[in-house]
Structures are given as C-alpha cells and as structure tokens.
C-alpha cells in the first residue's frame, strides 16, 4: 500500500496546495507547507490505513504541520523576527496570492473570512468532504464545523447579494 503512496501524493498536490493557500494565504509559505507535509506523510506512510481516504489523511497532516509551525513561531518570534511572524500569519499587506485572482465579489468575500471559516468552506464546498470527515481533519466536533460553515456561507451571500 505505501508503495503507491508516491502516486497518490503527486495526484493530490494541486488540492494540497490549494488547502495550504487557504490556511496561510501566502504562496511561498504554502509551497513550504506542502513540501513539509509531504515529507511528514512519507515518514509516517505506515500510519495510513489502506481503505481510508488518502486525501482526508493528507489534509489532516498538512493542517497539523501548519499548526506546529504557528506554535513554534509564536514562541520563537517573540524577541525578534516580528516581520517574519506577521508574514506567517498571513499579513494582508503582503499581497496574498488569492488577491490577484480576486476578480469576483465571491472571491474577495472568501478572502475576508476568518481562517477557521475559509478552511471549512474549502473542505466541504470544494472538496466535497462530509461534515464528519471535515470535523476529523480539523479535530473539532461536527457542531463546530456546522456553525462555522453556516456563518461563512451566510456572510458570503450577504456580501455578494448586492453584486
């Protein structure tokens, strides 16, 4: 099974990177995240149970990788490297990759949602994962997924209603 993991990984790259962009909104950082998450996945290839969804497993690894980095940057960034730290959190002034594509109001509206809403939106509406699968990836109860998702979608409809 892990023999095929390489192919699975390559096939999943576009969607992994898309999720990474939703998490950090910075193209260079997103690429680093994907690279690091792939490394971590290969190192733990044996922990993937065949028959379970590979994409959900990878999304969880990617997100945990991102959280590990936020955690370490938070402590390490206290004394210096403030600029680096803000970049990591996704400084809006940094020209996030998404803004270049912000041709529509929907795009802009999504960009302006909090990260916790953007990620559920992507996982459910674009990745077509179930609420339960999404909850497992994020490590939160289904009710939390639902309330974040409903808030995000209502906000989108409000923001785009005038357009």
Partner 1 sequence: MSQLHLSDEILMAFADGELDGPTTTAIAKTMAEDPAVAKRITDFQQSRRLTRSVFSAGSMLDVPPQLRASVSAQIETYEAARRASSDSHVESARRGWFHRKSSFVQMALAASIAAVALSLGYFAGSREGAGAGGLMAQLETPAVHRTLSTIASGQDVELPFGRLRVISTYRLADGSLCREFRLQAAKEATNAVACRRNDWNTTFAVAIAVTEAEYAPSDGDDLMTTYLRNISAGEALMGDAEARALAEPGR
**Interacting residues toward partner 1 by CB under 8 A:** 2-3, 5-6, 9-10, 13-15, 17-18, 21, 29, 31-36, 38-40, 42-43, 45, 65, 68-69, 71-72, 74-79, 84, 87-88, 101, 104, 106-107, 110, 121-122, 124-126, 130-131, 143, 146-147, 149-151, 153-154, 156-157, 160
Task: Between 6 and 92, name the residue whose CB sits nearer to partner 1.
Answer: 6
Q: How far is the CB of 19 from partner 1 (least distance, A)?
A: 10
Task: Between 45 and 114, name the residue whose CB sits nearer to partner 1.
Answer: 45
CA atoms of 66 and 85, how far apart (whole Å)? 13
Contact yes or no for 10/58 (Cβ under 8 A): no
Contact yes or no for 40/27 (Cβ under 8 A): no
Burial pattern 53-68, b for ≥16 Cβ within 10 A else e, equals ebbbbbbbbbbebbee
Q: How far is the CB of 36 from partner 1 (least distance, A)?
A: 5
Q: How far is the CB of 34 from partner 1 (least distance, A)?
A: 6
3-state class of 96 per DSSP? coil
Report the run of H or E that residue 89 belongs to, with start and end: helix 82-89
Q: How far is the CB of 139 from partner 1 (least distance, A)?
A: 13
């Amino acid at each position: 099974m892990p023999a095929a993991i390489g192919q699975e990984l390559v096939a999943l790259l576009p969607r992994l990177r898309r999720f990474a962009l939703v998490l950090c909104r910075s193209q260079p950082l997103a690429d680093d995240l994907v690279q690091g998450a792939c490394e971590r996945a290969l190192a733990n290839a044996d922990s993937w149970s065949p028959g379970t969804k590979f994409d959900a497993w990878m999304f969880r690894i990617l997100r945990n990788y991102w959280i590990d980095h936020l955690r370490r940057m938070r402590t390490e960034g206290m004394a210096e490297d403030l600029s680096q730290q803000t970049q990591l959190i996704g400084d809006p002034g940094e020209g996030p990759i998404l803004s270049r594509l912000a041709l529509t109001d929907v795009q802009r509206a999504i960009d302006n949602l909090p990260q916790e809403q953007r990620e559920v939106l992507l996982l459910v509406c674009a990745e077509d994962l179930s609420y339960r699968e999404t909850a497992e990836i994020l490590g939160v109860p289904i009710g939390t997924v639902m309330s974040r998702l409903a808030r995000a979608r209502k906000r989108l409809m409000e923001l785009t209603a005038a357009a």
